[in-house]
Amino acid sequence: MTMMKTSKTADRRSFILSSIFFICCLCTLASITEVRFDTLLRLGRCAVVENDSTSLSFNTNDTNTSLTQNSTSSEEDIRILIGILTLPDQYHKRHFLRLIYGTQSPAGAKVDVKFVFCNLTKEDQKVLVALEIMRYDDIMILNCKENMNKGKTYTYFSSLPEILNDTNSPNPPYHYVVKADDDTYFRLDNLVQSLRPLPREDLYYGYVIPCPSMDPFVRYMSGMGYMVSWDLVQWIRDSEIPRNNQEGPEDKIFGDWLRDGHKAKNRFNAKWSMYNFPEPKTGCTHELWPDTIAVHLLKNQEKWIRTLKFFNVTENLKPSKLYHIP
């Protein structure tokens, strides 16, 4: 009798437990779907592309030049690729970053944000990542095995000339290529403005390491996000210097390639427009301030929210009877 009772209780307990588990699964699924829908509704795109005809109409005085040079306004736009190196399983991170970048549309520039990772390894990834690509087309899968300090950055840069080789597209496909962390917030308008006066060749741009240094010709740019011009991307593909030196701390090694190859005669230190989140305070942090291109080390939601609030990112939310956000 007692035996039976115990086993009944155990049965019930395991039934309750599995029910809870089942409900949790449902909730997770539902919340994922909701996020997807939400994103789907709010964003048309992640690749932030300025409308060609809009920019043309601003350029009335240049009409003559445009016609004689055959250039459309989109050819005058600065084209930037931001590759965010991440892992296939980071679905939520990608959805979040799509919100962050899909709501920015820098003037006079075409900024494509792509998520970059190595070969898929799990069956569910083959479905979920393929669906993401069908919906957003903002993913790049390189021919590599996920790794840290074993050449993912090399694979990224050196693969681009071939991946983006398309005779029907502008040449170069991008003027600048960025490698960014997924805990960095780039303000695209400010990024584009900072690039306008800079050369489009032989350029290495970022936040100089070590933190107190302001000299971009010593050492290297922080992995929070650095940028090179397209000619350097091609050089990385063609030169033996990077090919033979792929292992080790990726961002430091990147700087070593350029030093050893006597490359990047043009360098731009974006400090203190790029910096680590103010807390915890270190030699690499800076207060949030208006003249910001990038904030790094946004390791949790609270830090992201504080940053997004500071920059008033929702101030242009259009009024509607459909919602009320105080």
Ligand X SMILES: *[C@@H]1O[C@H](CO)[C@@H](O)[C@H](O)[C@H]1NC(C)=O
Q: What residue ranges bind ligand X (CB under 6 A)?
A: 61, 64, 70, 119, 143-145, 161-162, 165, 290, 310-312
The DSSP 8-state label assigned to residue 88 in this structure reads: T
Peptide bond into 199 cis (omega under 30): no
- Residue 20 vs 163, nearer CB to ligand X: 163
Minimum distance, C-beta of residue 165 to ligand X, in the bound complex (Å): 4
The shares of helix, strand and coil residues in the chain, as percent rounded to the nearest 5, are 45, 15, 40
Minimum distance, C-beta of residue 312 to ligand X, in the bound complex (Å): 4
Strands 176-180 and 225-229: what pairing?
A: antiparallel
Minimum distance, C-beta of residue 53 to ligand X, in the bound complex (Å): 17
- Residue 304 vs 310, nearer CB to ligand X: 310
- Residue 234 vs 245, nearer CB to ligand X: 234
Please provide residue 186's backbone torsions phi and psi, each rounded to the nearest 5 degrees: -95, 135
Tokens 């360098």 locate to 267
Peptide bond into 280 cis (omega under 30): yes
Minimum distance, C-beta of residue 313 to ligand X, in the bound complex (Å): 10
Coil, strand or helix: which one is 157?
helix
- Residue 39 vs 73, nearer CB to ligand X: 73
Angle between helices 230-238 and 152-163 (to 10 degrees): 110
- Residue 21 vs 289, nearer CB to ligand X: 289
Minimum distance, C-beta of residue 57 to ligand X, in the bound complex (Å): 11
Strands 225-229 and 220-221: what pairing?
A: unpaired
